[in-house]
């Protein structure tokens, strides 16, 4: 097979072009034929983006339509194509229609890639996918090609223009202190310096990473939404006061969002004066301020089970199912005024089958461990990995944890 691909191109963000669209109906038996080369748009993590394009005179299967757009299948989501750039036609002998596939294997485009039709044995370009896009592949095809589906059609893209997706990094932080005030926690794995946290956030901004919410991550893992290649999610465990004092202003500065897994029996009603020599926890007053700004979302980390028994076993494991269920319910109820509580982080990262069952029965949709690694489609949603950031890490380590 002969290969072609573009060597330049810039991801363009489109926001003002899109208003709320009314979905008219599913039109799965219809096909559109492009009357010109036309862009594909998709809403990814709250932003409308140009994610690819369709060549002139090509046919694609319509999944839905709205007032101004036809919606076609694009990886795990739906891309939108301007109606003015296409017409509805009958199926005129389509020979390369997509069939049902698992689509768990993901790649990331390193540059704009051309999608070729090979139904006749001759490569015909019929679409493009922009650079920095996560895309589902059906299978490897020979040494140099991926077999994919786009707009209901089977196509082939050149492997060297892509890289295998190693997963989405979910960052895990706990405690943040300034160097000059850190007297008691210098050798504690969960405490990092404010300077280093600032370096982390600046690195994400400078290298154009998109910070996604856990809800957006869930949509991706459920194969309902698409993501770009350079994304991270940010989480904090325990609900410490320094997250309010130090992390919150920096996240706001960079326009990032984060999730706080909160231990509610340590959460006071009103703030206490800051003392860096002890572990202090945020108050519900501070939670309210952080929640209104939509910088932080507050999720569950147990109410009173973030402790160990006399044998050093986590209470989440040693307590009965009924006790765990009661604790989870209280944790959820106390956090409910600040949004839906659907996600959980295991105390000390430890759990057993009974704890997993209690989470399922409590309605939690995702749960996070402290096991190192990235999150991939097909992972157990109640046993997701995270990338912990500790005091021994530097920016080179940070880059390794977030890069593909």
3-state DSSP helix/strand/coil percent for the chain, to nearest 5? 25, 35, 40
* Phi, psi for residue 83 in degrees, rounded to 5: -60, -30
pLDDT of residue 11: 36
pLDDT of 12 above 50:
no
Confidence of residue 30 (pLDDT cuts 50, 70, 90): confident
Crossing angle, helix 395-402 and helix 194-206, to 10 degrees? 50
pLDDT of 4 above 50:
no
Minimum mean pLDDT range among 93-97, 126-130, 186-190, 191-195: 93-97
Mean pLDDT of 101-113: 89
Cα angle: 272, vertex 274, 280; to 5 degrees? 70
pLDDT of 10 above 60:
no
Write down how long the chain is. Answer: 404
Q: How far apart are CA 155 and CA 373, in angstroms?
A: 31
pLDDT of 28 above 90:
no
Kindly report the number of other CB atoms within 10 A of residue 404's CB atom.
16
CA distances in angstroms from 47 to 41, 217, 259, listed in the order given:
10, 15, 20
pLDDT of 8 above 70:
no
Cα angle: 246, vertex 333, 248; to 5 degrees? 10
pLDDT tens-digit profile of 338-357? 999 999 999 999 999 999 99
Answer for the pair 362, 129: CB distance below 8 angstroms, yes or no: no
Q: What is the residue-wise DSSP string for 225-282?
A: S--BSSEEEEEEEE-BHHIIIIIHHHHHHHT--EEEEE-GGG-BSS-----TTS--B-
pLDDT of residue 104: 80
pLDDT of 1 above 50:
no
pLDDT of residue 13: 39
Burial class (CB in 10 A: 0-12, 13-18, 19+), 120: exposed
pLDDT tens-digit profile of 132-173? 999 999 999 999 999 999 999 999 999 999 999 999 999 999
pLDDT of residue 90: 80
pLDDT of 254 above 60:
yes
């Amino acid at each position: 097979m002969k290969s072609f691909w573009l060597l330049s191109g810039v991801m363009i963000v489109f926001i003002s072009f899109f208003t709320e669209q009314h979905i008219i109906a599913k039109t799965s038996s219809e096909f559109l034929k492009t009357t010109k080369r036309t862009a594909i748009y998709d809403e990814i993590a709250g932003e409308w983006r140009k994610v690819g394009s369709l060549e002139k005179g090509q046919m694609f299967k319509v999944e839905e339509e709205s007032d101004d757009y036809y919606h076609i299948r694009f990886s795990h989501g739906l891309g939108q194509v301007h109606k003015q750039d296409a017409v509805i036609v009958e199926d005129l002998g389509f020979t390369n229609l997509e069939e049902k596939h698992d689509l768990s294997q993901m790649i990331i485009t390193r540059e704009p890639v051309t999608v070729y039709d090979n139904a006749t044995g001759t490569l015909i370009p019929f679409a493009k996918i922009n650079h920095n896009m996560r895309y589902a592949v059906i299978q490897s095809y020979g040494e140099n090609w991926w077999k994919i589906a786009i707009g209901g059609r089977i196509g082939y893209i050149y492997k060297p223009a892509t890289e295998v997706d190693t997963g989405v990094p979910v960052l895990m932080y706990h405690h943040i202190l300034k160097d000059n005030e850190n007297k008691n926690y210098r050798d504690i794995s969960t405490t990092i310096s404010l300077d280093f946290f600032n370096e982390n956030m600046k690195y994400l901004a400078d290298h154009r990473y998109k910070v996604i919410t856990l809800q957006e991550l869930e949509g991706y893992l459920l194969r309902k939404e698409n993501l770009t290649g350079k994304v991270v999610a940010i989480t904090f465990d325990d609900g410490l006061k320094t997250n309010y004092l130090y992390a919150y202003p920096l996240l706001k500065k960079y326009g990032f969002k984060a999730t706080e897994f909160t231990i509610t029996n340590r959460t006071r009603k009103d703030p206490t004066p800051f003392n860096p020599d002890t572990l202090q926890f945020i108050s519900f007053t501070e939670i309210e301020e952080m929640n209104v700004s939509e910088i932080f979302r507050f999720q569950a980390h147990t109410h009173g089970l973030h402790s160990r028994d006399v044998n050093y076993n986590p209470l989440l494991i040693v307590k009965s199912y009924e006790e765990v269920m009661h604790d989870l319910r209280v944790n959820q109820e106390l956090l409910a005024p600040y949004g839906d509580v659907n996600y959980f982080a295991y105390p000390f990262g430890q759990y057993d089958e009974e704890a997993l069952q209690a989470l399922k029965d409590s309605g939690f949709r995702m749960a996070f461990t402290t096991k190192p690694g990235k999150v991939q489609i097909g992972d157990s949603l109640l046993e997701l990995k995270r990338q912990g950031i500790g005091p021994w890490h530097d920016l080179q380590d940070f880059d390794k944890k977030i890069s593909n």
